[in-house]
Structure 1
Amino acid sequence: MRFQNVSQKTLKTVAVRPVLSSQSLFTCHRTRPLLASRHAPRLASQRRHHSTDPERIAVLGGGIAGLSSAYYVGKQFPNSKITLFEAGNDPGGWIRTRRIDVKDADGKEGNVLFEQGPRALRPAPATAGLIQQLGLINDVTYTKRTDPGAMNRFIYYPDRLNCLPSTLPISFPHLYSLWRTGMMAGLMGVLKEPWEKTRAAGLVDETVGSFFARRMDKRLADNLISAVFHGIYAGDVWQLSVRTLLPSLWHLENIYGSVIGGFIKVQNEAVEDQRTTFVHEWDRNLMSKMQKEIDVDDGFWTSLTQSTQFSLRNGLQQLVRALGDAVDKLGNVEVKTMSPIQSFKPLSEDGKLGVEVVSGQQGSTSTESFDLAISTLREKDLTPYVTVMTINLYYPNPNLLPVEGFGYLIPQSVPFEQNPERGLGVIFDSSAIKGQDTVSGTKLTVMMGGHWWDGWQSYPTEEEGLEMAKSMLARHLNITDEPTAHFVNLAKDCIPQYTLGYQDRLTKFADKMSDEYKGRLRFVGSQFNGVGVNDCIASAWNVAQQLQDGGWKGWSCGLDKVAHGDRWVVVPKNQMDFAMNKARG
């Protein structure tokens, strides 16, 4: 069958993990001054114009970032006409939920919930506030910190599941069992990190893999860190930027000469026994703003903080649908589906600034002018993207899994013969997230592809994807039962990759957009603010906040964090704790 050809031939042609061979491949040296400071004075001193609100606002893109932006801006400017442009039939982006009718082992009829994209969120103020505003609190399902779905997270290495420690201190038997597998090889590098030589002065970025190899041990990057980044970004640690994705580690070394030593020094700056933390000044200011503006019920927030993650009874698409309904009820937002953006450009007519937007299907486009636009669209020169296939599986047998937990991730160091499908990991949905299904059984999601599939001209079909998932589960978990329900989803170009040099590219991009659009175009979304749902919602909330009181006439393009430059500060940890600040406020 064709799947066999995929396994034996096509899979073997996938690019192998890069090796640490040359400094130029994994590091980025400064060749010219950063542009971050160029607009900083203007942004810092821009006047808040107390004038009329914008008459017309465009939101380009209807994913979770665009839909959230339309909601927040629609509330912020009730007298403005807002148009949301969505290329497809429905807003919501990659958040897609399906209910599938099944029978359990006893023949009981019911249904199970399959998530094609994100399935659970970590507690976050903006998202919590949004859920409360949408009236969804009673539909939230929590994964408590003591649940197996929170306590037990696994890494598959080299040919078995290894449970990661969930609490400190780690027991010696547990540590020894991990050590014997070889997964913890390189851990001694952490102890010698404070004495490693500080990076060269001209080095302005480095890959995650190179950073850990230089500061600690390459094996840590290969065996542990790469697994984590597979789960979050489906990306390659030898291509992703450490300055962007682990900025506190990067700047601890820059300021203190060492990550571990810097962390200790930060703690030594504590006043009156208060724990301290190391944060970007912009993030501290954002938390302060959220504290003042976001209202979250105390009981709801307490439940969230007692959990590692949460979802909704009908899946995360329930959030999208409720948000869409709320946008409709505002009365000042028009949602145009099947209206892809063909182009947009700055306008300056008779001294009036704005944005011209061309939308619609080829051969049937329309041109409109707006006072302000918020774009969530992709910028092709900023990041590449990866493609991920998810395979949802349901088995009537509730006892198929050898362990309970959230699931497992697969590091880049696992031999090809143990992972020819190029899997990223497996989520034990029936163990990790409770309260969504009406029947018992075992529910899994297999994730494949990501950076492993970079350069592929074609991807596995649904049939091939299903067979690959079953093959992987048989090898890793000894599951040979046939699933009675499944769904295969190929998400092409779904996750942006913050690769080496991203921060400088973003800074130059922000500088250019501020010059060209003079503040009338703002940017929100996973390519700019973080790949998670929480990141998108928080950035949409923040941009809407920036627009009020005449702020929409300022020169910001919405990417103010890069305009602040690398300003890191040591603050009491409770300043970054939404709940503690709320209680104090």
Structure 2
Amino acid sequence: MQGAANTATMRERGMAVRAKDSDPEWYNKMEKMSIIGFKDGLETLPQHIYEYLKTCDNVEFVINDPVQSITTVENNKEAKIKTSQSEYYADHVISTLPSFTLDKLISNSLPHLSYNPAADVAVVNFAYAPEVKLAYDGFGFLTPHRDTAQKIPVPGTLGVIFDSNVIPEEQEKRTKVTAMLGGSDWKDIFGNTPIDALDPNQALEATRQVMKQFLNIEDEPTHSLVNLQKQCIPHYLVGHQERIYQLHHATAKKFGHLLSLTGASYMGVSVPDCIKNSRMLVEELLMSGSLGSREKIVTGLINNITRDIKDSIQLSKGNTNVILKA
């Protein structure tokens, strides 16, 4: 509902006001929550959106047909999307791909898309019998940076979430945790083995050590699950904001009205950030007329860039409230 930061801009505040107006009771309840989850996992959200959109006559899904290239045709009148099986022509393309993937599809024609590295993470879920208890009651823990004086018992451990504490289930009393391993410290825990070659059993054994060393739990889990997430977390290197600003202008010059960018590579890696930034992008595309009259080029990259929104942030709270109500 707020992304990773407070609703500092007018547009973010406007989104919050509209959400509250549409269902005040729900909003007031959810606003107090620090964690939001779904019984069947976060996939519930996109799955329900997918099921809804399938019922819309003006929506077509193309799946299992990888995109091979994105180019412009007829002096930027249309975008051409070539896939392994077909070609599509579009008045506008919204890319939510990782920036380094998009970079290959557009033949490296935009700057900085492959500048930031992305971390590999092994995500391991353990479930224990009800009698196995956590010694702590809380969200979980994150480990200190590897360069701090505090030594980590199992190097390469990013943190552990206490799932059964965070989102308890009345019907299931199992103790459940999620361990995150690797990231920028991948070599500390998995050596020189790349994620594509990693045996999931290595991640399981490492997690057993994490549970033993950090939480004094030596019991064998009743259930376990390993997900090896390749290049899943972009690392924004110093100067990222300035590079995004340059990318915005390069995208506007190269693709004009044909391309907008959103997703974890640009202005926030969290799920709430991706939802917030994508919604702001779509609202701006619709409200600015960029999809019809093409009065404004919308790249999706300057929603949160301070150089472009300083004036709006400087507005007093009173003026902002007047604008929102209007």
- TM value normalised by structure 2: 0.81
Kept after mapping to 2: 8 A contact 1:387/1:492: yes
CA spacing shift, 1:470–1:404, aligned 2, 3 Å: same
**Identical positions, percent:** 26
Which residue number in structure 1 is paired with residue 109 of structure 2?
Answer: none
Match of 2:17, SS? helix
Hey, what's the Cα distance between the residues in 2 that align with 1:293 and 1:409? 32
Moved over 6 A (4+): 573-577
Kept after mapping to 1: 8 A contact 2:96/2:263: yes
Deviates more, 1:491-500 or 1:288-297: 288-297
CA spacing shift, 1:574–1:397, aligned 2, 3 Å: farther
Match of 2:144, SS? coil
Hey, what's the Cα distance between the residues in 1 that align with 2:51 and 2:23? 22
CA spacing shift, 1:510–1:457, aligned 2, 3 Å: farther
Which residue number in structure 1 is paired with residue 54 of structure 2?
Answer: 328
CA spacing shift, 1:574–1:401, aligned 2, 3 Å: farther
Which residue number in structure 2 is paired with residue 458 of structure 1?
Answer: 194
**Does 1:447 pair with 2:167?**
no
Kept after mapping to 2: 8 A contact 1:382/1:506: no
Hey, what's the Cα distance between the residues in 1 that align with 2:19 and 2:251? 28
Hey, what's the Cα distance between the residues in 2 that align with 1:373 and 1:519? 9
- Report how far residue 457 of structure 1 moved: 4.7
Kept after mapping to 1: 8 A contact 2:95/2:261: yes
- Report how far residue 519 of structure 1 moved: 1.8
Which residue number in structure 2 is paired with residue 304 of structure 1?
Answer: 30
**Does 1:356 pair with 2:80?**
yes
**Does 1:432 pair with 2:175?**
no
Which residue number in structure 1 is paired with residue 130 of structure 2?
Answer: 397
Hey, what's the Cα distance between the residues in 1 that align with 2:284 and 2:309? 21
Q: Write out per-residue CA displacement over residues 37-76 of structure 1, whole angstroms, 9 at most, x where no aligned residue.
A: xxxxxxxxxxxxxxxxxxxxxxxxxxxxxxxxxxxxxxxx
Hey, what's the Cα distance between the residues in 1 that align with 2:173 and 2:306? 52
Which residue number in structure 2 is paired with residue 200 of structure 1?
Answer: none
1:214-363 correspondence runs (5 A) = 279=8, 283-288=9-14, 291-292=17-18, 295-348=21-74, 353-360=77-84
Kept after mapping to 2: 8 A contact 1:410/1:424: yes
CA spacing shift, 1:286–1:305, aligned 2, 3 Å: closer
- Report how far residue 366 of structure 1 moved: 2.1
Match of 2:37, SS? strand
CA spacing shift, 1:415–1:288, aligned 2, 3 Å: closer
CA RMSD of superposed structures (Å): 3.0
Hey, what's the Cα distance between the residues in 2 that align with 1:519 and 1:287? 27
Unaligned stretches of 5+ residues in structure 2: 101-113
Hey, what's the Cα distance between the residues in 1 that align with 2:149 and 2:122? 19
Hey, what's the Cα distance between the residues in 2 that align with 1:324 and 1:469? 34
How many residues are paired up?
299
- Report how far residue 124 of structure 1 moved: 3.8
Hey, what's the Cα distance between the residues in 1 that align with 2:19 and 2:30? 19
Which residue number in structure 1 is paired with residue 90 of structure 2?
Answer: 370
**Structure with the bigger percentage of strand:** 1
Match of 2:123, SS? strand
- Report how far residue 340 of structure 1 moved: 1.7
Which residue number in structure 2 is paired with residue 388 of structure 1?
Answer: 121
Which residue number in structure 1 is paired with residue 111 of structure 2?
Answer: none
Which residue number in structure 2 is paired with residue 419 of structure 1?
Answer: 154
Structure with higher RCO (Cα < 8 A, 6+ apart): 1
Hey, what's the Cα distance between the residues in 1 that align with 2:297 and 2:236? 25
Q: Which amino acid aligns with 1:551?
A: S
Unaligned stretches of 5+ residues in structure 1: 1-122, 126-231, 233-245, 247-276
CA spacing shift, 1:400–1:465, aligned 2, 3 Å: same
Deviates more, 1:410-419 or 1:369-378: 410-419
Q: Which amino acid aligns with 1:383?
A: N
Kept after mapping to 1: 8 A contact 2:70/2:82: yes
**Does 1:559 pair with 2:310?**
no
Match of 2:86, SS? strand
Largest Rg, 1 or 2:
1
CA spacing shift, 1:469–1:293, aligned 2, 3 Å: closer
CA spacing shift, 1:382–1:284, aligned 2, 3 Å: farther
Hey, what's the Cα distance between the residues in 2 that align with 1:289 and 1:390? 33
Hey, what's the Cα distance between the residues in 1 that align with 2:210 and 2:15? 47
- TM value normalised by structure 1: 0.47
- Report how far residue 445 of structure 1 moved: 0.8
- Report how far residue 415 of structure 1 moved: 5.2
CA spacing shift, 1:294–1:430, aligned 2, 3 Å: closer
